[in-house]
Amino acid sequence: MVWLGNPTTCLDRPDRAWWYLPHRHDRSVLWCNVVTTAEIQHVQTRIGATPDGFWGPKSTAAAQAHLRALMPSPHPFPKQSDITAFYGPHGTPGGKSPPTSLITLPFSIYYEGKEVRQLRPHEKCADSLLRVFDRLLVAYPSTAEARRAGILTYDGLYNPRPMRGGTAWSLHSWAIAIDFNAEHNSNRSHWPVASSMPIEIMECFAHEGWTAAGAFWSRDAMHFQATQP
Closest CA to 19 of 44, 1, 37, 41: 37
Asked if 198 and 150 touch (Cβ cutoff 8 Å), the reply is yes
Asked whether residue 88 is assigned to any structural domain, the reply reads: yes
What pLDDT score does 162 carry?
A: 80
Asked whether residue 214 is assigned to any structural domain, the reply reads: yes
pLDDT in tens, 26-53: 333 334 446 899 999 999 999 999 999 9
* Residue 101: domain span: 80-225
Q: Are strands 177-179 and 103-111 parallel, antiparallel or unpaired?
A: unpaired
Closest CA to 49 of 205, 215, 228: 215
CATH classification at residue 216: 3.30.1380
Asked whether residue 218 is assigned to any structural domain, the reply reads: yes
pTM of the model: 0.86
Asked whether residue 70 is assigned to any structural domain, the reply reads: no
What pLDDT score does 164 carry?
A: 74
Confidence of residue 167 (pLDDT cuts 50, 70, 90): confident
Asked whether residue 71 is assigned to any structural domain, the reply reads: no
Asked whether residue 16 is assigned to any structural domain, the reply reads: no
pLDDT in tens, 120-140: 999 999 999 999 999 999 999
Give the whole-angstrom CA distance, residue 150 versus residue 184: 9
Q: What mean pLDDT is predicted for residues 21-25?
A: 37
> How many domains, the chain?
1
Percent of the chain with pLDDT over 90: 79
Asked whether residue 17 is assigned to any structural domain, the reply reads: no
What pLDDT score does 6 carry?
A: 43
